[in-house]
Amino acid sequence: MEQLGFKVCSVSGLIDTKQLDNYSCGVAGLDEFIKYDYQDLERKHITSLNAVYLDDVLVGMFALSTSSSSASFADANREKIFGDASGMKSLPMINIDHLSVNKPFQFGNGLDGLHLGTAILKYIFKMLLDVGAQYGIAFAGVMVESLPDPVDFYISNGFYFIDKHEEDAPNKKTYTLAISYDDMFKVYE
């Protein structure tokens, strides 16, 4: 990400939060999270919202937390993602609680076709892989509870439906997808 000039900082550490007032990803629920919901969750140490800047312009946001993937059985999708570890009752995970791109910069607009959502996701992967290696923190992968529209984005970036039944269920409000620690390397490359 250094080649893009990304600066990432915790929203709670920002001195000037006025740029948040004009930030919108175009999805009301996600915008509400940024404007109102994250503060209480941060106070409770449940998630942490981060701002992504490119040349001092707020282009994206993401929030992460720790989580676990629990299952009473391992179906084909869980086995595809986690391999031998899929049979474990609970797997340590990092959860993407929020990932968005500011509406003016979505779909490569204004940035020579650069797909900021993918770039931010790769930044998250690199950061997590580095932290895991540097501090010896083990986690099986990354999960996200995705709205229906971004599901294809996550799949194109290496995620799979964690549960085969959910993959085949149309018209859900959200879908749980995951990518393994090992597969994060492949996407990041």
> Among 73, 89, 83, which residue's Cα sits nearest to residue 165?
73
Mean pLDDT by 10 residues, the chain (189 residues): 70 80 91 88 91 90 90 76 86 94 80 79 93 92 93 94 84 91 83
Question: For the chain, what is the largest distance between any 2 Cα atoms, rounded to a whole number of angstroms?
Answer: 48
Q: Check residue 64 and give its pLDDT.
A: 95
Residue 1 confidence (pLDDT): 36
Q: Give backbone dihedrals phi and psi of 133, rounded to 5 degrees, phi first.
A: -70, -45
SS (H, E, C) 91-135: EEEEEEEEEEECHHHHHHCCCCCCCHHHHHHHHHHHHHHHHHHHH
Q: Which residue carries 């439906």 as its tokens?
A: 161
pLDDT reported for residue 16: 76
Q: So what's the pLDDT on residue 73?
A: 60
pLDDT the model gives residue 110: 57
